[in-house]
Structure 1
């Protein structure tokens, strides 16, 4: 019999990140203790390999808002000593997290992760990799763009995250815009062969003005809603057909829609048409 901690929980799905941290601190969640040594074993191997290099490797305990492991690459990337994160916990990260990016994570990305986990069997949760980018402010006051990839250990009772294990990489040299890209992948083996599958993808704009459609995009969208083809639009507006396609891709990304039907429905719902 595995050694299970007790459980006493009544919580709604899709909480914000901050609400989840508040709830999980006082709740008594159920999880298999045998998973913790496995996590620490993974952490020990990666921590040794990454201690003086980037990317940052971390292991966080949501139930106590504490970091259990933080690799030495933290200082290279963030300019903060890893001990500052170990001592300050999640509030330390929150204090240097770019405000608009944290709002997106708190209100959109984390709830999307919870929604996804709630749709999957709990025993598969560790197979899913959650990736997104965000900005932090270093000691010199400069923004650093990070790409974080990680997985969760979740409660056997609720499926909500109790621990998170992952890496964060500095992508400042390659990332010049503020768009936040969020993906969920599944990584598993089929007959000993690793398989990776994209399960979900979202785009978020921290600044409202970046999310707005341009005048040209509004114009093209209105023609699309009337059933015009890309070729017809290109001829009428006097632009290349590829440019019409690029405008379509931009509008899909800005509205977080997956196809033209969703885009047009979004446009009517938000009075863009």
Structure 2
């Protein structure tokens, strides 16, 4: 029997039956960062992203930096007092449905394969929209990691940051990435291990005619240079078509892309 996917809302609702699995003393360093001294307050409120700490077991924000009023358009107190319910009120309906029904279940499926004590080693990013007080929407990029899970792998605490990307990103597609944080000695690195595009409208995910033409030549075993010669295009353009198709499908190599196209009868 196929396992039913956990949506974000149902997952948090299910965790509400579990008692709190941490002490506030464990969070002192995080809370201290979000409660700056007067000399740092101006920089924190105006110069850096929104930083938040969310408790999945209660569906509430433990704390959030006051820069949310500038970056998001809502006071931090609204999120802290209202919890997930306030977030749901201002979340763009299409973006919420996408995160709730597709992105979060995929993210959860990934984490279920990772030992609970390694959850903090992975960084998740995606873009979405929240409604401002004036009725317009702001484009945001959120990056977060699960800093605490219980021994059964249930997510408890999520620490994240949110930045305004109005000048860089439109709403479609939603781009979700997973990065692995590694530490060797004092050096840290961040490796992209998964990138997937989620389209708000199904028709946007379909391959273009030009992309399908590139696929047909890929089935014949031609290289990007050979395909470019056949189609009277630059090799760079062909490479971009291949990359776009892999981004749309979440597939990381050409052989798997061809197999997917044949299996789904795209070509």
In the superposition, the TM-score normalised over structure 1's length comes to 0.86
Alignment of 1:114-153 (within 5 A): 114-153=108-147
> Mean alpha-carbon deviation: is it higher for 237-246 or for 185-194?
185-194
Please report how far the alpha carbon of residue 202 of structure 1 lies from its aligned counterpart in structure 2 after TM superposition: 2.0
Alignment of 1:210-229 (within 5 A): 210-229=204-223
Please report how far the alpha carbon of residue 108 of structure 1 lies from its aligned counterpart in structure 2 after TM superposition: 2.4
Please report how far the alpha carbon of residue 231 of structure 1 lies from its aligned counterpart in structure 2 after TM superposition: 3.0
Alpha-carbon distance change, 39 to 202 in structure 1, aligned in 2, over 3 angstroms: farther
Report whether the alignment pairs 1:42 with 2:30.
yes
Alpha-carbon distance change, 128 to 235 in structure 1, aligned in 2, over 3 angstroms: closer
In the other structure, the counterpart of 1:17 is 8
In the other structure, the counterpart of 1:97 is 91
Report whether the alignment pairs 1:109 with 2:103.
yes
Please report how far the alpha carbon of residue 69 of structure 1 lies from its aligned counterpart in structure 2 after TM superposition: 0.7
Alignment of 1:63-82 (within 5 A): 63-82=57-76
| Cα contact 1:204–1:256 (8 A) shared by 2 | no
In the other structure, the counterpart of 2:45 is 52
Please report how far the alpha carbon of residue 170 of structure 1 lies from its aligned counterpart in structure 2 after TM superposition: 0.5
| Cα contact 1:130–1:183 (8 A) shared by 2 | yes
| Cα contact 1:100–1:207 (8 A) shared by 2 | no
In the other structure, the counterpart of 1:62 is 56
In the other structure, the counterpart of 1:6 is none
What are the ranges of 5 or more consecutive residues in structure 1 without an aligned counterpart? 1-11
Alpha-carbon distance change, 227 to 189 in structure 1, aligned in 2, over 3 angstroms: closer
| Cα contact 2:149–2:157 (8 A) shared by 1 | no
Structure 2 residue corresponding to 1:189, chosen from 173, 183, 188: 183
CA distance in 2, matches of 1:42, 1:27: 23
CA distance in 1, matches of 2:150, 2:171: 39
Please report how far the alpha carbon of residue 138 of structure 1 lies from its aligned counterpart in structure 2 after TM superposition: 1.2
What are the ranges of 5 or more consecutive residues in structure 2 without an aligned counterpart? none
Residues 234-257 of structure 1, C-alpha deviation per residue, up to 9 Å, x if partnerless?
A: 223222222111111111111111
CA distance in 2, matches of 1:86, 1:155: 21
CA distance in 1, matches of 2:249, 2:182: 31
Other structure's SS at 2:258 match: helix
In the superposition, the TM-score normalised over structure 2's length comes to 0.88
| Cα contact 2:129–2:171 (8 A) shared by 1 | no
Please report how far the alpha carbon of residue 266 of structure 1 lies from its aligned counterpart in structure 2 after TM superposition: 1.7
Q: CA RMSD in A?
A: 2.2
| Superposed structure 1 runs of 4+ greater than 6 Å apart | none
Residues 214-246 of structure 1, C-alpha deviation per residue, up to 9 Å, x if partnerless?
A: 111112212212223323322232222221111
In the other structure, the counterpart of 1:7 is none
